[in-house]
Amino acid sequence: MKQRFPSEFSHLWAIEPGAIYLNHGSFGACTKFILEKQQVYRNMLEGQPMRFMVRQLEGLILNASEKVAAFVNADPSDLVFVQNATAGVNTVFKSLHFKHGDEILFTNHSYGGCLKVLEFIAETTGAVLVEAKYDIPVTSPQQITEAVLSKVSGRTKIALIDHITSATALIQPVKEIVRELDKLGVDTMVDGAHAPGCIPLDINSTGAAYYTGNCHKWLCSPKSAAILHVRKDKQNKIFPLIVSHAGHKAEPFTERFFWQGTMDPTPVLCAADSIDHMASLMPGGWDAIMKRNHDICIQARDLFCRELGLTPSCPGDMNAAMSTMELPDMFENNPPSYKNCDAIQDEIYEKYDLELPLWYWSLPPRRTTRISVQLYNSLDQFSYAAGILKRFCPKKKAP
């Protein structure tokens, strides 16, 4: 089957040729090169497991750590690998000690999976969850900062702040939020699930006590590769979710996370390879990739808004390679769970082999669509998708 509306890069990815896949932000997607590279590592592992796991792996992990740390401007000694950003958030919150009445601050744009971690902490420790709210469309980053700071109290111990929100695709001003919270004696855990490879990332300059980010999304490495960065003054209190041979008191900090039982390390090793491979795909490397994806995202967003009568959720510079738009009422439908999709999304997928996320956000729930752009996407794909989605939107009544 031929590719439909391909970009000049589509052939490099393993996306099914007939599919139009506009949901890179959910799970990412690997290039064929990286899938082949992962198989090379797996062949090394299975060809002589003892040699690979005991004699070679530590050096390979160190190389990957140095490569990824340089990409996000962090000291390798402050950075460890975890399975995904949700594991990074779990690691921090399950390591910290909360007393009854301690407040944990988050926003109504925080990722749903990580909110479950906060609920667990609150129920088991007596900590109190405090929600900072702001609606879309948002007019400026300052609006977000003010919403967060307005909920700080003398009991606020830590804030969970998304760098790029998942459901609403907003770049939040984490550097400013961290700086202001630090002045108030409040630590920040930044959930940067979408940040590496999507926006220029300088973890050191954020100043956050804790920062986690996925490699499997915009870096396009295999699933089960993510980073957790812990500021040096906080490392003595943070422990891996799985404590194994090194023990929970191992030094340096990174040693605690190196061995967590037998698992597949190939996604982590591929993260380093993916950084170089992706950079080679365009003149100008990662800066050019991020600009290209952002530019198409804004063009596609404006196209959706024009064709469907929608409103952008924020100024263009607050979107990176994703954008969310609120949709008009279509028909009554219960919001789907994390295990299934919206009924209209399923119908569009089944009829047109088009993966366009539709979901509900906020209380009361409002249906939105979120577009994502990676190199394998073309603007023509979004034009086609807007036309398909328009068929499901109610026709405006004549005045």
**Contacts of 185 by beta carbon, 8 Å cutoff, 6+ apart:** none
Q: Which residues face 82 on adjacent strands? A: 226
Q: Tokens at residue 265, please? A: 């390390």
Stated pTM of the model: 0.95
Per-residue pLDDT reduced to its tens digit, 336-387: 788 888 889 999 999 999 999 998 888 788 899 999 999 999 999 999 999 9
Q: Tokens at residue 262, please? A: 């037998």
Is the Cβ–Cβ distance between 328 and 307 less than 8 Å?
Answer: no
Q: Which of 215, 219, 203 is nearest to 76 (CA)?
A: 203
Q: What domains sit in the chain, N to C, each tagged with a CATH number?
A: 10-22+285-390 (3.90.1150.10), 34-276 (3.40.640.10)
Taking only Cα atoms into account, the Rg of the chain, rounded to an integer number of angstroms, comes to: 21
Q: Compute the distance between CA of residue 68 and CA of residue 79 in angstroms, rounded to an integer.
A: 9
Q: Compute the distance between CA of residue 297 and CA of residue 295 in angstroms, rounded to an integer.
A: 5
Q: Tokens at residue 236, please? A: 């003595």
Helix axes 266-279, 32-47, angle to 10 degrees: 150
Per-residue pLDDT reduced to its tens digit, 22-43: 999 999 999 999 999 999 999 9
Please list the pLDDT of the chain residue by residue as tens digits (399 residues).
788 999 999 999 999 989 999 999 999 999 999 999 999 999 999 999 999 999 999 999 999 999 999 999 999 999 999 999 999 999 999 999 999 999 999 999 999 999 999 999 999 999 999 999 999 999 999 999 999 999 999 999 999 999 999 999 999 999 999 999 999 999 999 999 999 999 999 999 999 999 999 999 999 999 999 999 999 999 999 999 888 877 788 788 899 998 888 899 999 999 999 999 999 999 999 999 999 999 999 999 999 999 999 999 999 999 999 999 999 877 666 677 888 888 899 999 999 999 999 988 887 888 999 999 999 999 999 999 999 999 988 765 444
Q: Compute the distance between CA of residue 107 and CA of residue 128 in angstroms, rounded to an integer.
A: 14
Q: How far is CA 313 from CA 48, 65, 92, 364, 392, in A?
A: 52, 36, 31, 17, 21
Determine whether 251 is exposed, middle or buried from the number of CB atoms within 10 Å of its CB (0-12, 13-18, 19+): exposed
Q: Can you give the pLDDT at residue 65?
A: 97
Instruction: Read off φ and ψ for residue 295, nearest 5 degrees.
Output: -60, -45
